[in-house]
């Protein structure tokens, strides 16, 4: 049988800083009262592999699909490079409190230390409040010695570049950049498939058993980029019914689509899967003469590489989606 737009069962992650917006604003069926910080929408991280929730492939996990369909699912070039590992991890993050100040290694160090990929990521703000902000890099050039001195004196905050956040804002966070999502933010995160995080500072918080979370200062010191950050917030124009590029890097390309009428998208020129994440409104998506899937705010759909085109039909006055894929290295 032919492939079709695939939906997956979200994987919910309890976090000490989590809240309830995934349920109240995005309608996620969480089923527990504990604070949930993350919904892993699409993942092939070990022990956290997404499982199909629609169609005849329901119940199969993402790695099984790659093993069966190979390039038809992810693209020939993607399959040749990544094998059975899906190269991207898509999350929704609800920060009811500040996340830890952290950094991620690049590919070389992550591979050497952990046998894993590095972690370059991006954020798109889905909701916030008038005080929402985040940390992205340093506000001036610094170095390891000053960093440690500030950490010892509890004045590390003096070095950080704080960014105000409003709904729709886009941020790019390359590996090596110190960062933290702060309280009040609901964001979509697109990243390399990696769960390697070095926590630098966690506000001396304790979990329900009174335990502090593990820090990784020694590992982080030779990973951090100590230079002043530039252009952390992406300036992007707003256009209707055509893609607007938000981020294009070695690991993924992400476009924003704001549509108020049926829109066709062709993928003949890319050798990749395409992920759609609905950030506003609702729509229907699928091949013009094939199986279609309904999406609402917070839903994620994977379009297999074998589907060369889709039609997106908004149900609401307008629908907004993120469109994510991997550019061919042969272009």
Residues labelled catalytic:
199
Q: Which residue has the tokens 């395409």?
A: 274
Burial class of residue 313, CB neighbours in 10 A (0-12, 13-18, 19+): middle
Please say whether the beta carbons of 41 and 53 come within 8 A. Answer: no
| φ/ψ of residue 71, rounded to 5 | -65, -25
Q: DSSP character for 150?
A: H
- Give the span between the Cα atoms of 226 and 27, in whole angstroms: 40
């Amino acid at each position: 049988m032919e492939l079709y737009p695939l939906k997956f069962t979200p994987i919910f992650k309890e976090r000490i800083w989590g809240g309830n917006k995934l349920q109240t604003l995005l309608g996620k069926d969480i089923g527990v009262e504990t604070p949930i910080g993350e919904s892993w929408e699409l993942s092939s991280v070990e022990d956290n592999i997404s499982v199909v929730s629609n169609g005849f492939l329901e119940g199969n996990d993402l790695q099984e699909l790659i093993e069966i369909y190979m390039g038809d699912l992810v693209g020939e070039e993607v399959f040749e490079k990544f094998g059975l590992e899906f190269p991207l991890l898509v999350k929704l993050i609800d920060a009811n409190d500040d996340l830890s100040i952290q950094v991620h290694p690049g590919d070389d160090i992550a591979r050497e230390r952990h046998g894993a990929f590095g972690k370059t990521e991006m954020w798109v703000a889905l909701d916030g409040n008038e005080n929402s902000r985040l940390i992205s890099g340093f506000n001036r050039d610094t170095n390891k010695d000053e960093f440690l001195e500030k950490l010892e004196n509890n004045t590390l905050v003096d070095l950080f570049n704080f960014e105000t956040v409003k709904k729709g804002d886009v941020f790019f966070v390359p590996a090596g950049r110190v960062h933290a999502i702060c309280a009040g933010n609901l964001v979509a995160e697109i990243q390399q498939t990696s769960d390697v995080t070095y926590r630098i500072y966690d506000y001396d918080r304790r979990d329900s058993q009174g335990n502090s979370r593990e820090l990784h200062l020694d590992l982080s010191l030779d990973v951090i980029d100590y230079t002043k950050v530039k252009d952390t917030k992406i300036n992007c124009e707003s256009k209707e019914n055509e893609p607007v590029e938000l981020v294009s890097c070695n690991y993924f390309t992400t476009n924003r689509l704001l549509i108020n009428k049926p829109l066709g998208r062709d993928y003949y020129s890319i050798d990749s899967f395409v992920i759609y994440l609905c950030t506003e409104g609702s729509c229907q998506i699928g091949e013009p003469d094939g199986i279609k899937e309904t999406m609402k705010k917070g839903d994620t759909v994977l379009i297999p590489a074998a589907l060369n085109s889709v039609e997106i039909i908004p149900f609401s006055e307008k629908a907004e989606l993120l469109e994510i894929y991997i550019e061919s290295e042969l272009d």
